[in-house]
């Protein structure tokens, strides 16, 4: 007895990016437990050259304030740094043998959506998320809320006793914990008062500024006291609405876009009583019979990042210029560290429109069959800012020309098919469509018109036949699902 291929495929996609390295364990409970326990060691931080340099240079505020060209340099370093951070994290997802950690980090990256142009701050936030992705939600929430990135993004530096800024307080309640409908505007006001003084220093470390903190009495969700920010987070965690909100979001991410109210209520109850242990919640889900119900298998539309990572984990491709990976993210509508707004990526059907679906289906051909990449994504708002990108009109034009060239080129890439081919060399041409489809798709009943696949994969030798089969299967609507 072992675990059926269908179950394994399903688990491998929901607990990772489609390829579990530890899938040999025949017992499902043990396999899941191992997947979660695996992650007890702290991950190494992902660090960019740019942030190292910026930390070393340690410019003072007055230096920066006095020197426009220095400001420009720092802004450029931060932008390049975030691009590199994006690529480094993506590559970690390609190769990690802890896929569940990165998968859940991707979830929290969307949950705690944050868009700031400071690479050191973003590195720290990413590390907080990766360290706590499967740990205790309260720890994660507190660390994220005290990160320079989030405090800056939600304007808490401007939240002072004399002049409140409620952005941070509101989003902590609406997005991070309880969700809308569980608190009043008065609670937002009172909660925000408690967060006054939460700030960060030049090194990006949390500081509590007593002099701007409102230490008066607050009444928050029915409790009264001289609350500070930590108290507010504690009170939010005491409310079951928080457990429910988080559970529902995780359910939608790892089980099904369409929530099942009864299941979610049960899971939330358990989550709450485990003191918000994320790993335990996932273990319960991944070992439940209902998790493997037909209606959950292949029910989710992969996010662009999941799609790219999934392809890379099947057939690793090395790009001559890693910017290609950014270009794919932009074209498909999900760029790490650039969520569309405070609520993160909506996901589900929102990933799909006429153009993104066609690009998704052409992507395997662009990467593995050198088809031309003729798409130009929109510039990102951060790139429009000409105070950083160009000092004059000529720079601007040159940049545009460069972009034109880059987008019209074929993407230079080397694919390593060895491991993939090894799995199928012994399989006859007749059995190939079914075998490759088994390996690449999770929702078999839907697909596989074997005669069609055969027709489109006719080749002069077996390896080429396998490759064609694989690329054609990746170029299907079914492959967009997991």
Tell me if 481 contacts other proteins by CB under 8 A.
yes
Using CB under 8 A, pick the residue from 28, 88, 342, 403 that binds other proteins: 342
Q: Which is nearer to other proteins, 216 or 477 (CB)?
A: 477
- Residue 318 touches other proteins, criterion: CB under 8 A: no
CB of 62 to other proteins, least distance (A): 17
Q: Which among 7-15, 22-30, 129-137, 329-337 is the span making contact with other proteins, rule CB under 8 A?
A: 329-337
Angle between helices 354-368 and 462-474 (to 10 degrees): 160
Pick from 88, 148, 140, 139: nearest CA to 114: 148
With 0-12 CB in 10 A as exposed, 13-18 as middle and 19+ as buried, what is 346?
Answer: exposed
| Residues in 60-119 at the binding interface with other proteins, rule: CB under 8 A | 68, 115
Residue 136 or 356 with smaller CB distance to other proteins = 356
Of 412-431, binders to other proteins (CB under 8 A) are 414-417
Q: Report the C-alpha gap between 447 and 2 in whole angstroms.
A: 25
480 forms part of the interface with other proteins (CB under 8 A): yes
Q: How far is the CB of 279 from other proteins (least distance, A)?
A: 28
- Please tell me the distance from the alpha carbon of residue 7 to that of residue 70, in angstroms, as a whole number: 55
Candidates 19, 158, 165, 390: give the one binding other proteins (CB under 8 A).
Answer: 390
Task: Return all residues near 353 (Cβ < 8 A) that are at least 6 apart.
Answer: none
Q: If binding is defined by CB under 8 A, does position 333 make contact with other proteins?
A: yes
- The single residue among 176, 195, 272, 368 that binds other proteins, judged by CB under 8 A, is 368
Cα-based angle 31, 32, 36 (whole degrees, multiple of 5): 120
Decide: is 396 part of the binding site for other proteins (CB under 8 A): yes
Report the site for other proteins in 155-184 (rule: CB under 8 A).
170
- Give the shortest CB-158-to-other proteins separation in angstroms: 13
| 293 contacts other proteins (rule: CB under 8 A) | no
Question: Is 391 an interacting residue with respect to other proteins (CB under 8 A)?
Answer: yes
> Per-residue contact track with other proteins, 235 to 274, x per CB under 8 A?
----------------------x-----------------
Considering the complex, state which of residue 46 and residue 361 has its C-beta at the smaller distance from other proteins.
361
Taking the least distance from each CB to other proteins, the nearer of 279 and 333 is 333
Long-range CB pairs of 58-63, under 8 A, 24+ apart, other chains included: 61/202
CA distance 7 to 299: 14
Residues 6+ apart with CB under 8 A from 139: 132
Dihedral of CA atoms 430, 433, 438, 441 in degrees, nearest 10, equals -170
Pick out residues in 431-470 that bind other proteins (CB under 8 A).
Answer: 443, 446, 449, 452, 455-456, 458-459, 463-464, 467-468
Residue closer to other proteins by CB (options 164, 361) is 361
Residue 382 CB, shortest distance to other proteins, in Å, is 7
Place of tokens 């480094």: 88
Copy the structure tokens of residue 29: 């409970």
Q: How far apart are CA 359 and CA 357, in angstroms?
A: 5
Q: Show the DSSP H helices in 304-461 as ranges.
A: 304-314, 323-332, 354-368, 381-384, 386-389, 393-408, 418-422, 432-440, 450-456
């Amino acid at each position: 007895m072992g675990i059926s291929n269908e179950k394994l495929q399903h688990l491998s996609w929901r607990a990772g990016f489609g390829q579990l390295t530890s899938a040999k364990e025949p017992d499902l409970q043990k396999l899941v437990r191992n997947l979660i326990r695996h992650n007890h060691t702290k991950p190494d931080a992902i660090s960019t050259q740019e942030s190292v340099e910026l930390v070393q240079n340690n410019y003072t505020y007055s230096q920066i304030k006095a020197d426009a060209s220095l400001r420009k340099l720092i802004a450029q370093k931060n932008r390049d740094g975030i691009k590199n951070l994006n690529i480094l994290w993506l590559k970690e997802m390609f190769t990690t043998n802890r896929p569940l950690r990165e998968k859940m980090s991707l979830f929290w990256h969307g949950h705690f959506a944050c868009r700031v142009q400071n690479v050191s701050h973003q590195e720290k936030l990413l590390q907080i998320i990766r360290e706590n992705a499967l740990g205790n939600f309260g720890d994660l929430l507190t660390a994220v809320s005290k990160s320079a990135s989030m405090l800056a993004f939600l304007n808490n530096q401007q939240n002072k006793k004399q002049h409140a800024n409620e952005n941070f307080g509101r989003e902590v309640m609406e997005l991070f914990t309880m969700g809308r409908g569980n608190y009043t505007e008065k609670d937002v006001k009172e909660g925000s008062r408690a967060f006054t003084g939460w700030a960060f220093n030049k090194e990006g470390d949390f500081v509590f500024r007593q002099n701007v903190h409102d230490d008066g009495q607050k009444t928050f969700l029915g409790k009264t006291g001289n609350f500070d920010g930590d108290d507010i987070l504690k009170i939010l965690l005491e409310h079951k609405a928080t457990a429910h909100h988080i559970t529902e979001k995780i359910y939608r991410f790892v089980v099904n876009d369409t929530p099942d109210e009864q299941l979610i209520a049960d899971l939330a109850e358990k989550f709450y009583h485990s003191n918000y242990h994320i790993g335990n919640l996932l273990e319960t889900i991944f070992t439940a019979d209902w998790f493997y119900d037909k209606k959950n298998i292949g029910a989710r539309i992969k996010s662009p990042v999941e799609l790219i990572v999934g392809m890379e984990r099947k057939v690793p491709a090395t790009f001559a210029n890693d910017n290609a990976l950014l270009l794919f993210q932009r074209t498909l509508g999900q760029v790490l560290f650039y969520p569309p707004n405070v609520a993160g990526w909506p996901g589900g059907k929102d990933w799909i429109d006429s153009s993104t679906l066609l690009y998704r289906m052409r992507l395997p051909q662009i990467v593995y069959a050198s088809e031309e990449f003729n798409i130009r994504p929109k510039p990102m708002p951060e790139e429009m800012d000409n105070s950083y990108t160009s000092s004059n009109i000529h720079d601007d034009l040159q940049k545009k020309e460069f972009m034109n060239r880059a987008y019209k080129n074929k993407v230079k890439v080397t694919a390593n098919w060895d491991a993939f081919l090894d799995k199928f060399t012994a399989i006859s041409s007749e059995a190939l469509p079914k075998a490759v489809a088994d390996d690449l798709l999770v929702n078999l009943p839907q697909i596989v018109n074997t005669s069609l696949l055969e027709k489109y994969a006719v080749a002069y030798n077996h390896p080429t036949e396998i490759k064609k089969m694989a690329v054609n299967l990746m170029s299907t609507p079914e492959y967009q699902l997991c």
